[in-house]
Structure 1
Amino acid sequence: MKDIYDLPKNVYDRLEYLEFMLRFRGWITRTELMDHFSISQTAATRDIALYREHRQNNCYLNQKNKRHEYNQTGFKPLFEVDSRSALSKLREFTYSKALGLSDSDGILSPPRLTYPDINLLPTITRAIATKSYLRADYTSVRNGASEKRLLPHAIFDNGIHWYVRAYDEERERHCSLALTRFISAEVTNKVDEAKFKTITSRDHQWNRIITLEIVPHPNDEFVKESATIEHDFGMKDGCLKVQARAIVAGYWLNLWDVDCSANHSLKDKHYQLWLRNHPALYGVDGNFIAPGYKDSYYQ
């Protein structure tokens, strides 16, 4: 029997789709494979036979409706899939339609309120890829429009905005700049590898990795059953440990509604999580964004 990873990619993709539909919808038909992949009846029949050769007990043919249906007692996945990739597929119209989810607006998720300019984004990524400076016109809520000379090296997402992490040559410091606030940008001169490594190695907020110890909120007025929170977030020994770059920690804790006060003092119902090791945020740029955190606790 040929290993699935040795199969031609088009065959591999069809078998993966076949199993996904079996597992998440409960059935697959030869006609669907033919229509979805624009293949012949012979090819679709061969794909189903090949899949059953690898996982005979995963499905059975329902003669009444000519569907190969999910076997609840003998199913063993052939393809590895985690929750993240599965949910990503469910968000795609092709999959949500096939599963019948499009009739109820598919998988609803919060819309992004803003996106970077598609004509500016490639300029920034090219500068990163080629280790080059950017000459950019940028606007901020505090200083308005200004011209900057930047050496960008990374991009991150805080859930609302996309940011580029860059060295600002005029201010001689590293900073995070929202991609949607660039007015214009152009790639200028390259820097040599040694200089690039030296500059980026000094971005301590980017290079510093901290561990966030997130636990159920101790306020039993709103969190009466902490075991529910532990199950909800897959905590081990009552704690979820998340590693994050220092520069993004405040953004993410705010996004997750984690109470970061020293004495877990935030009482609103949506604070069901508490940052147990809140001193980890000391010295972190943007820690003021973390709900309830105050540097004065540690000074």
Structure 2
Amino acid sequence: MPNLASGGTSTSQRERLWQIDFLVRFRGQVTRQDLVRRFGIAPSNATRDFTLYRQLAPDNLDYDHSEKVYRLTPVFQPLFTYDREHTLQTLTLGQGVGLETCAQPILVDAAPTLNQPDLDVLAAVSRTIYAGKALLIRYFSVSSGETTREIVPHSLVNTGLCWHARAYCRTHAQFRDFVLTRITSAEEVKGVIDTSVESRAQDQEWNQEVELELIPHPRATYSRAIELDYGLESGQSINLSVRAVMAGYLLRRWGVDCSPDATLNPNEYQLALRDPKWVATQVSLAIAPGFSEEAGY
């Protein structure tokens, strides 16, 4: 039987096999044209790649002759080992030019990621989004503990602190955010979704844009240092247009003081939100630093 060792397949063929494995795991299906478009190869070469893949993993793919597509089987087992960070990056940015790492002569370090989603859960959510289906999940909430819910996810979101699925929750009849690390099981629900209610087009908070203006904290002793951090000239501000549903996450991630009069410690919160009372009429600031319902917004 063929193997994935360097002597068994070329680097370019291993990359194409990985593409098959990745797409069927996270999208639920893959075609010869996916390889032809991605790698610029002839259809006959793509056919040989699928033949080799099925020799290596004979139970992973079912071929749909009517639609000429290979689909994920219920007993699928990944042919490759997946790094979580690379997988999330690939879903976000698309596949890189190759699988092999390159030597890096300059030392670069970064703060570690403390929470990463389970790849099987991520794959189930990703496939459901692609197929336009509903998902039955077991979910742990900070406020209500473990529950079972049917959701219709339409997008994956990286808040900078965690990954979540934006989805219509059939239990509460509204769109909500579901943190992927809190999903303990996920199973596709048979049947079609009600696109007039449950599709991304109906998610008003997702489709609405809100304008945010961020300024160096007015109480900072040396605001020029903050301006340099963000590439600003004196008196300039950062102007952003973001999805309404993402505003609170962004403000929390960047530590933006959202109190009415910018009263938080400027040594900890170097940016402040201009006119937070008006912004609070457009989006929820419940998780934003300095937000207070008692403050009148």
How high is the TM-score relative to the length of structure 2?
Answer: 0.61
Structure 1 match to 2:47:
none
Structure 2 match to 1:148:
149
Identity %: 31
Show CA shifts across 1:64-97 (max 9, x none).
Answer: xxxxxxxxxxxxxxxxxxxxxxxxx9xx9955x4
How high is the TM-score relative to the length of structure 1?
Answer: 0.60
Give the 5 Å matches for 1:143-292. 143-191=144-192, 195=195, 199-219=199-219, 223-235=220-232, 237-278=235-276, 279-285=278-284, 287-292=285-290
Q: 1:201: Cα distance to partner? A: 3.0
Give the conservation status (yes or no) of the 8 Å contact 1:216–1:273.
yes
Q: Counterparts of 2:215 and 2:249 in 1: how far apart (Å)?
A: 18
Q: 1:166: Cα distance to partner? A: 0.6
Give the conservation status (yes or no) of the 8 Å contact 2:168–2:198.
no
Give the conservation status (yes or no) of the 8 Å contact 2:210–2:282.
no
Q: Counterparts of 1:115 and 1:196 in 2: how far apart (Å)?
A: 33
| Stretch deviating more after TM superposition (165-174 or 202-211) | 202-211
Q: Counterparts of 1:235 and 1:203 in 2: how far apart (Å)?
A: 34
Q: 1:145 to 1:198 in 2, by over 3 A?
A: closer
- Segments of structure 1 that go 5 or more residues without pairing to the other structure are 1-9, 11-88
Query: Quick check: which one's helix share is greater?
Result: 1
Q: Which amino acid aligns with 1:239?
A: S
Cα RMSD, aligned residues only? 2.6
Give the alignment partner of residue 98 of structure 1, picking from 95, 104, 111: 104
Q: 1:137: Cα distance to partner? A: 1.2
Give the conservation status (yes or no) of the 8 Å contact 1:136–1:147.
yes
Q: Counterparts of 1:261 and 1:161 in 2: how far apart (Å)?
A: 24
Q: Counterparts of 1:196 and 1:168 in 2: how far apart (Å)?
A: 14
Q: Counterparts of 1:177 and 1:199 in 2: how far apart (Å)?
A: 16
What is the total number of aligned residue pairs between the two structures? Answer: 199
